[in-house]
């Protein structure tokens, strides 16, 4: 049973759209000249972010997905990262951009980057929508970050609480009542 809660808007849809455009410009510049960038979305939280981001990247791209879990229906990380769905394609010798919704403790992104590095890519970089550096337990920093946020439980723009609120067009702070 979920605790009752309300959602306060934290980052507007307009601010997200502007930042996504900026991130895409930076990524397009960094990978200029690549024959095909492999953009790997971490499901399920990144699906809206990756869709908006890849539409703004001015490069030939391929999109693939990993589904990993460290939260389940909880608001706290279990610190155990499980791969639920692996990539379909090969990344050996390719430029890879991992797209994640939020970096909290750092366990998930660290695990994914190490896993992908074992597959012999040309390079692996990370782009995250939200970063909570105050919660970091593993030293990791994404190459690109949309927004740094305080230690708040957030939903919206693909991010859920117990599979709800992914469809909000903004990032909202969950306040339990």
Point out the residues that are catalytic.
104
Smallest Cα–Cα separation from 106: which of 121, 84, 126?
126
Phi, psi of 51 (to 5 degrees): -60, -45
Q: How many distinct helices (H) and strands (E) make up the chain?
A: 3, 9
The residues, any chain, with a CB within 8 Å of residue 109's CB and separated by 6 or more, are 98, 100, 103, 126, 128, 140, 142
CA distance 22 to 46: 17
CA dihedral 57, 169, 109, 87 (to 10 degrees): -60
CB count in 10 Å sphere of residue 118: 7
Tokens of 2: 């979920």
Residues in the chain: 177
Q: Which residue has the tokens 């939903």?
A: 155
């Amino acid at each position: 049973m979920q605790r009752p809660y309300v959602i306060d808007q934290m980052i507007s849809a307009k601010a997200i759209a502007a930042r996504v455009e900026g991130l895409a410009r930076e990524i397009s510049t960094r990978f200029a000249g690549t024959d095909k960038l492999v953009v790997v979305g971490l499901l399920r939280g990144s699906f809206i972010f990756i869709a908006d981001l890849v539409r703004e990247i001015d490069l030939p791209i391929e999109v693939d997905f990993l589904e990993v879990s460290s939260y389940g229906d909880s608001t706290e990380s279990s610190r155990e990262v499980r791969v639920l769905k692996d990539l379909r394609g090969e990344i050996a010798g390719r430029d890879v951009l991992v797209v994640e919704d939020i970096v909290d403790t750092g366990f998930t992104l660290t695990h994914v980057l190490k896993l992908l590095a074992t597959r012999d890519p040309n390079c692996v970089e990370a782009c995250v929508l939200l970063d909570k550096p105050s919660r970091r337990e593993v030293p990791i920093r994404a190459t690109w970050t949309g927004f740094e946020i305080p230690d708040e439980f957030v939903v919206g723009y693909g991010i859920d609480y117990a599979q709800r609120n992914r469809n909000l067009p903004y990032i909202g702070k969950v306040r339990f009542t």
